[in-house]
Amino acid sequence: MASSSILGIDFGTTNTAATYFDKTGRLRLVPVTDKSFVLPSVVWYHAGDKAIVGHAARTQIIDDPRHTIFGAKRFLGRRFDSEFVALHKDRFAFDLVPGPDGYAAIHVYGQVRPLTDVVHVIIKQILTLANHAAGEPFSQCVLTVPAHASIRQREAVRRAAEKSGLEVRAIINEPTAAALYYANLRNPEQTVLVFDLGGGTFDATLMSVQNRVVKVLATGGDAFLGGANFDEAIVEGLVDEFERQSGVRIRGNKLVMQRLIFAAESAKIALSVREEAQMRVAGLTQKEGAFVDFNFSLTRAQLEQLVFQLIERLAASVDDVLQRANMTPEQVDELVLVGGMTRMPAVRQRFAHFRRTSTDKEVHPDLGVAIGAGVLGRNLARGIVGLADVVPMPISAMLPGGRTVEVIPANTPVPCTKTLPLEALPMWNAPIPIAIFESLSTTAVDREILGTLHVPPQWRAAQPGGGQLELKMGHDFTLRATLIADNGARTPVQLVDPKPITAV
């Protein structure tokens, strides 16, 4: 019999974790190994369609980098020809290619696989572990996504979970999940700033917590800033010196750079608890037939210098979020740190002017988001919502002729309904297209087309006043469009995706 509990899954760039409440109402973390509650989000394809997930796959990043997929979340639901993919794809030794739908996909053993396949393999694994831990299968889940995840990205994780046979009850923003956990912990009435710095992204979310209900006041962050950028900064800082000393050029060699990035990450993690770390990669490259080792020692002070600019970028994002809510750091009751990168002492010091009363034991940097998802799962199972999320990016409409109008502003609480007057719509004899898109900025590069709807010419001709277009965004970030006639009559219209995500 399927479990009545709802599994909370935090599918992370680096690690995936899951939690649930058992029949006695106790919170359970899904064990991955004897010692760990996190499953590395890494998939190693060791034959055409055979995959291994987690800790065992992680070691293959070095041994079989072409077939070992990590950081898939960064590219999920992104078009291959997007600026983001162009900027980041060369960091990875596996083959990123355009899928038949135009979205980033991987190429392994001569086959193109959508990234939802990779994510599906990870979710299936954590689900198997959860089913085993609970002693009965889960049929429903809550998923978490970065606060600025686009609708496409949300849809892509949803499909990956559905492919595992799970019904997705809700998709919530990671920082909201962390705050929900925090609210559940102490039931405070406070204003909380959740600072979530993971492997690939940074989210800053300002929330008010009242009676265990979380309301998002403002969200921000940087989709291009995460732990991986810190690793790159370390490598950047050392490669020139290595090339000078060894006389070997290694820049541009993907495999070599990947090994260095791996070593840089280990050194970075070690420097969170030590003052000095050794970065050693035996046989990194070759010179005149002999192996050349990479061997540098790095101090915490040197590391902090290398990543100084990145930390300042974090600070600028935080300022921006506070400014939007018209608040000062003193007005924030608590800074909640989530994500593996918040263990770095320099990151903590930079934000030491914020109040922090919870200890890290309480809001666990690796599991806070997964626990929040579990808390929402329990609340949904009991019929309580206790959550008010906001639209991550503005939703706009482009009318024939190119005029663009913002319909739903960013940070509008969901669910929400907004209307756009259509008096400027031309009278044509053919269906009149309106493109709907979401974007972080107004530049065309960043736009993500969500779909196009067509206004029937007869409908347009019958509205001397122009009528209106209504866009409704649901709790789960699904978008519905309806035409409203001058007399108030409603006609739902289909949003047609110009390039749909491959059905999985």
CB of 228 to ligand AMP, least distance (A): 6
Site string for ligand AMP, 177-216 (x = CB under 6 A): ---------------------xx-----------------
DSSP-derived secondary structure letter, 79 = B
* Nearer to ligand AMP (CB atom), residue 233 or residue 501: 233
* Nearer to ligand AMP (CB atom), residue 115 or residue 234: 234
CB of 360 to ligand AMP, least distance (A): 11
Rounded Cα distance between 264 and 277, Å, is: 10
* Nearer to ligand AMP (CB atom), residue 344 or residue 473: 344
CB of 341 to ligand AMP, least distance (A): 4
CB of 267 to ligand AMP, least distance (A): 10
Per-residue three-class SS string for 192-217: EEEEEECCCCEEEEEEEEECCEEEEE
Q: Which of 3, 5, 14, 19 binds ligand AMP (CB under 6 A)?
A: 14
- Decide: is 148 part of the binding site for ligand AMP (CB under 6 A): no
Question: What backbone torsions phi and psi does residue 384 show, to the nearest 5 degrees?
Answer: -105, 140
Pick the piece of the chain touching ligand AMP (CB under 6 A) from 45-53, 149-157, 204-212, 264-272.
264-272
Q: Taking CA 262 as the corner, what is the angle to CA 260 and CA 265, rounded to the nearest 5 degrees?
A: 110
Binding-site size, ligand AMP (CB under 6 A): 17
Strand order in the sheet with 42-47: 50-53, 42-47, 68-70
CB of 325 to ligand AMP, least distance (A): 25
Structure tokens at 119: 């994510």
CB of 82 to ligand AMP, least distance (A): 21
Rounded Cα distance between 380 and 432, Å, is: 41
* Nearer to ligand AMP (CB atom), residue 14 or residue 205: 14
Can you spell out the DSSP letters for 363-405?
A: S-TTTHHHHHHHHHHHHHHTT---EE-B-SS-EEEE-TTS-EE
CB of 126 to ligand AMP, least distance (A): 14
CB of 302 to ligand AMP, least distance (A): 15
- Decide: is 144 part of the binding site for ligand AMP (CB under 6 A): no
Report how far Cα 367 is from the mean position of its chain's Cα atoms.
15
CB of 332 to ligand AMP, least distance (A): 22
Pick the piece of the chain touching ligand AMP (CB under 6 A) from 261-269, 372-380, 435-443, 456-464.
261-269
Strand ranges (E), 66-154: 68-70, 95-98, 104-108, 111-114, 140-145
Report how far Cα 450 is from the mean position of its chain's Cα atoms.
18
* Nearer to ligand AMP (CB atom), residue 77 or residue 227: 227
Q: How many residues does the chain have?
A: 504
Helix (H, G, I), strand (E, B) or coil at 44: strand
Rounded Cα distance between 302 and 275, Å, is: 10
Rounded Cα distance between 14 and 174, Å, is: 14
* Nearer to ligand AMP (CB atom), residue 337 or residue 435: 337
CB of 195 to ligand AMP, least distance (A): 12
Distances (CA, A) of 67 to 59, 87, 117, 389: 12, 21, 14, 37
CB of 14 to ligand AMP, least distance (A): 4
Element containing residue 284 per DSSP (H, E): strand 276-287
Pick the piece of the chain touching ligand AMP (CB under 6 A) from 11-19, 235-243, 286-294, 322-330.
11-19
CB of 186 to ligand AMP, least distance (A): 22
Question: What backbone torsions phi and psi does residue 340 show, to the nearest 5 degrees?
Answer: -55, -35
Rounded Cα distance between 367 and 185, Å, is: 14
Element containing residue 134 per DSSP (H, E): helix 115-134
Site string for ligand AMP, 217-256 (x = CB under 6 A): ----------xx----------------------------
Nearest CA to 162 out of 179, 139, 183, 195 is that of 139
Q: Which of 99, 340, 372, 392 binds ligand AMP (CB under 6 A)?
A: 340
Pick the piece of the chain touching ligand AMP (CB under 6 A) from 13-21, 144-152, 379-387, 414-422.
13-21
What residue type is 270 in one-letter code? A
Rounded Cα distance between 147 and 153, Å, is: 11
* Nearer to ligand AMP (CB atom), residue 366 or residue 438: 366
* Subset of 266-295 contacting ligand AMP (CB under 6 A): 268-269, 272
| Sites of contact with ligand AMP (CB under 6 A) | 12-15, 198-199, 227-228, 265, 268-269, 272, 339-341, 343-344
